[in-house]
C-alpha cells in the first residue's frame, strides 16, 4: 500500500531539520520512502490531505485495559486496539485486568496472537503473582520469554513486603520490570474518594494521600535494598512526586506514571455525585494536580497514561458507593493534555517511554517503518459520546472542552483515518 501525506507539519523534537517543517511524506509498503517539500504521487497511491494536519511518531500508552478474555462485552482486544489506533496510539501496554488474568506463558501467547496483524501493537503485562492473589509469584521468567514486558497485579497493592523483595531480586536475573500499585489498604480502608474538604462535605468515605505515600515509601526502601527495576503506576499526590524524585536522585531505577485525569480534574468534580468521576487512584486536590504537572515537566514522572478502563454500564449507573472504579480515556487523552501543555510537550509526553519496556521506539526518517500519528492540534470541541470508539461508554471526559483531535494513524503497513 502506498500512502502520500500531503503538506503535514512535522512535530519531531529529536530532529531539528524536520521539526515544525511542512512536508510531504511518501510511504511505500509500510516504509517511509521520501520526505520532501513536494512529492508527486506514484500510481495507486492513497493521498491524505487535511487542513492543519500535523504528524509525529506514533503514540504510546503504558496502561490500558480491555475486556478479553472474560469481559468481551466491555471491550474485545480487536476493538480495543482499533480504539487505540483511532486515538493516535500505535503501541499500548495491556494491563492484567482480564479473567482469567495472565499468569502463565500460554496466557501471554494468547494475548499476542489475538492482537496479531493489527495496526496498533499490543505489549502484554503478566501477573506478578499467581491468579493475582498476592500469595506466590507467577511464572515470571516463562512469561518474559513469551513476550510479557512487565509484571503487575492490576490495581491490587502488594501487601506482603517480602513478596515484593523477592520479586525484585528474582527479576534481576532476566531484566524484569516489577509493578507495585501505590495503595496501603490498611490506611485506605473502605474509602472511595480523596480524603479532604470535598469528601467531608459530601459525606463520602475518604482515601488519605498517606495511603499512597506510605506504600511508595515502603516500596522505595525495598528497592534500595534489593536493586532491580520498579514501576509505580498512576501516582496521584504531591508527596508521591517528591518521594519518586528523591529516589531517582539516589540513583534507584524507579519509574512512574500518572493518569491524564489526575492531571486535569480535581475532586471538586464530585459535587454532583456522578460516578464517571469514581476512579482509582481518586481525583485529588488542585495542590496535587499542580505538583503532578510539575513532575511531568521536570521528568520525575516518566509517563502519562490514559488508564483506559472499560466497564459495563450497570457497574457505573448505580449509587456512588456501589459503582466500580474506572474510566475509559484513550479517545480523550490528547485533547485533555493539549489543554494544559503546549503542543510540543504534549506530543513528547505521548510519544515517550517505550524504552522502559524494551520496546523499540519508531523514527520519523527515510527508510524507517512508518509508525505515525496524524492530528490537528488547534481544533476545539466538546467531548461527547459521539467521540467514543470503545464498546464501553464510561468516560469521565464527556462534557469537557478539548483542544486537538486525532486524524488517524499509520503503522504495520496499515492506515486508519477518523472520518
Catalytic residues: 307
285, 267 Cβ separation under 8 angstroms = yes
**Quick one: which H or E segment has residue 339?**
helix 333-340
How far is 163 from 321, CA to CA, in rounded Å?
31
Helix axes 238-249, 286-298, angle to 10 degrees: 30
Residue 298's SS3 state is helix
Q: What is the DSSP letter of 385?
A: G
Provide CB contacts within 8 A for 337, sequence distance 6+.
260, 263, 264, 304, 346, 349, 350
Q: What is the DSSP letter of 364?
A: -
**CA-based nearest residue to 12, from 22, 2, 4, 3:** 22
Q: Residue 55 forms beta bridges with which residues?
A: 10, 374
53, 374 Cβ separation under 8 angstroms = yes
315 phi and psi angles, rounded to 5 deg: -85, -10
How far is 172 from 176, CA to CA, in rounded Å?
6
User: Could you tell me the three cell numbers for 152?
Assistant: 503487575
Q: Residue 54 forms beta bridges with which residues?
A: 9, 375
Residue 197's SS3 state is helix
Q: What is the DSSP letter of 151?
A: B
Residue 393 CB neighbour total at 10 angstroms: 14
Q: What beta strand segments (E) does 182-240 contain?
A: 193-194, 206-207, 229-232
Q: Residue 70 forms beta bridges with which residues?
A: none
> Residue-wise over 153-168: b if at least 16 C-beta within 10 A, else e?
bbbbbbeeeebbbebb
Amino acid at each position: 500500500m502506498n500512502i502520500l501525506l500531503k503538506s503535514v507539519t512535522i512535530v519531531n523534537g529529536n530532529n531539528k531539520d524536520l521539526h515544525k517543517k511542512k512536508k510531504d511524506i511518501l510511504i511505500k509498503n509500510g516504509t517511509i520512502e521520501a520526505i520532501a517539500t513536494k512529492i508527486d504521487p506514484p500510481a495507486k497511491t492513497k493521498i491524505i490531505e487535511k487542513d492543519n494536519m500535523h504528524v509525529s511518531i506514533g503514540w504510546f500508552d503504558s496502561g490500558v485495559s480491555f475486556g478479553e478474555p472474560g469481559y468481551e462485552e466491555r471491550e474485545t482486544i480487536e476493538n480495543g486496539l482499533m480504539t487505540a489506533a483511532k486515538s493516535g496510539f500505535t503501541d499500548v501496554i495491556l494491563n492484567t485486568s482480564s479473567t482469567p488474568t495472565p499468569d502463565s506463558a500460554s496466557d501471554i501467547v494468547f494475548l499476542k496472537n489475538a492482537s496479531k496483524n493489527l495496526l496498533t501493537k499490543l505489549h502484554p503485562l503478566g501477573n506478578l503473582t499467581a491468579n493475582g492473589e498476592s500469595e506466590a509469584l507467577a511464572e515470571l521468567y516463562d512469561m518474559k520469554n513469551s513476550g510479557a514486558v512487565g509484571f503487575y497485579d492490576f490495581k491490587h497493592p502488594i501487601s506482603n513486603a517480602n513478596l515484593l523483595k523477592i520479586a525484585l531480586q528474582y527479576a534481576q536475573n532476566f531484566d524484569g520490570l516489577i509493578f507495585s500499585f501505590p495503595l496501603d489498604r490498611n490506611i485506605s480502608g473502605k474509602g472511595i474518594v480523596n480524603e479532604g474538604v470535598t469528601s467531608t462535605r459530601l459525606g463520602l468515605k475518604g482515601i488519605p494521600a498517606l495511603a499512597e505515600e506510605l506504600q511508595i515509601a515502603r516500596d522505595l526502601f525495598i528497592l534500595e535494598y534489593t536493586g532491580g527495576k520498579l514501576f509505580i503506576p498512576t501516582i496521584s499526590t504531591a508527596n508521591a512526586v517528591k518521594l519518586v524524585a528523591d529516589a531517582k536522585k539516589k540513583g534507584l531505577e524507579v519509574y512512574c506514571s500518572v493518569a491524564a485525569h489526575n492531571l486535569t480534574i480535581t475532586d471538586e468534580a464530585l459535587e454532583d455525585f456522578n460516578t464517571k468521576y469514581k476512579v482509582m487512584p481518586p481525583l485529588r486536590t488542585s495542590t496535587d494536580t499542580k505538583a503532578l504537572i510539575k513532575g511531568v515537566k521536570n521528568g520525575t514522572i516518566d509517563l502519562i497514561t490514559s488508564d483506559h478502563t472499560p466497564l459495563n454500564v450497570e457497574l457505573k449507573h448505580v449509587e456512588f458507593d456501589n459503582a466500580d472504579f474506572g474510566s475509559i480515556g484513550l479517545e480523550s487523552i490528547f485533547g485533555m493534555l493539549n489543554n494544559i501543555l503546549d503542543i510540543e510537550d504534549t506530543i513528547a509526553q505521548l510519544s515517550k517511554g517505550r524504552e522502559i519496556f524494551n520496546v523499540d521506539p519508531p523514527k520519523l526518517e527515510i527508510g524507517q517503518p512508518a509508525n505515525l500519528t496524524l492530528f490537528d492540534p488547534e481544533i476545539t470541541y466538546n467531548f461527547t459520546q459521539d467521540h467514543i470508539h470503545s464498546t464501553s461508554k464510561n468516560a469521565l471526559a464527556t462534557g469537557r472542552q478539548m483542544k486537538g483531535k486525532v486524524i488517524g494513524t499509520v503503522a504495520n503497513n496499515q492506515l486508519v483515518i477518523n472520518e
